[in-house]
Amino acid sequence: MKVLADLHNHSCLSPCASLEQSPSLLARLARERGLGLVALTDHNSALNCPAFEASCRREGLAPLFGIEANSVEEVHVLCLFGTAKGALDFGLLLRPLLMPLPYDAEKLGDQVVVDEDELVIELLDYYLGAALTMGFDELCALAASSGALVIPAHVDRPMFSVSSQLGFLPPGPYDAVESMRRPEPALCGGLKAISGSDAHYPEHICRRPFAVELPEGALELGGEGLLECLRAALRAGSLTASWEGQ
């Protein structure tokens, strides 16, 4: 079964994302634009995952729940879970590791926790865009040991990537890598590269999805069953990135 997927999307919780980008809007536009599987991956937090879960249920869309974590070297990595609880629990592990940088909402952007009907629950007063006090290798190991699907983000970008911050992809417990364009083989570590939209605004949603072959019924499984089906497909290379045509 061929599924159009996008595993890199932000909501109004991320300080660099549009306030229009609610979890409910992400779910609705993802369905309208043809995605079958979509993940929410805000910076260093999963607090909007419960609203995203309810919104995807309402839209009849299969969700995954994650965090785009930022290592001490400022390398971004996608950490994806089958349940909102799994992502929230991982977020609790990261919270004490978040550097306490000064945060000015007017300059850096609001960080809004909402429900599935876009009602504001909380405005965070600490900065989610900061780096964690944990190195990239240790962060990836922690995510893997927590059951996450681990994907170094936008490995070919000139900032916040393994190529820009480290100069190479070290060995690690990765399930795939994400790239904006066809990456150099050295940045893949022998793994297949997925494309991802890194959507911060409504117009970004579904701009760089990838197609993946999943077993029949995998989307209906949801939760850990869906996550493991996706993990197996990524490691087998059963996918087609946006630059390859779908």
Segment 67-105, tens digit of pLDDT: 999 999 999 999 999 999 999 999 999 999 999 999 999
Provide the whole-model pTM.
0.97
For the chain, give every domain's residue range. Answer: 2-244
- Taking the C-alpha atoms of residue 10 and residue 134, their distance in angstroms, rounded to an integer, is 22
Predicted local distance difference test score (pLDDT) of residue 245:
79
The model's pLDDT over 28-65, given as tens digits with 9 standing for 90+, comes to 999 999 999 999 999 999 999 999 999 999 999 999 99
Please count the CA atoms within 13 angstroms of the CA of 36 that sit on its side-chain side: 17
- Taking the C-alpha atoms of residue 236 and residue 232, their distance in angstroms, rounded to an integer, is 6
Pick the CATH number of 2-244 from 2.60.40.10, 3.20.20.140, 3.90.1170.50, 1.20.1440.120: 3.20.20.140
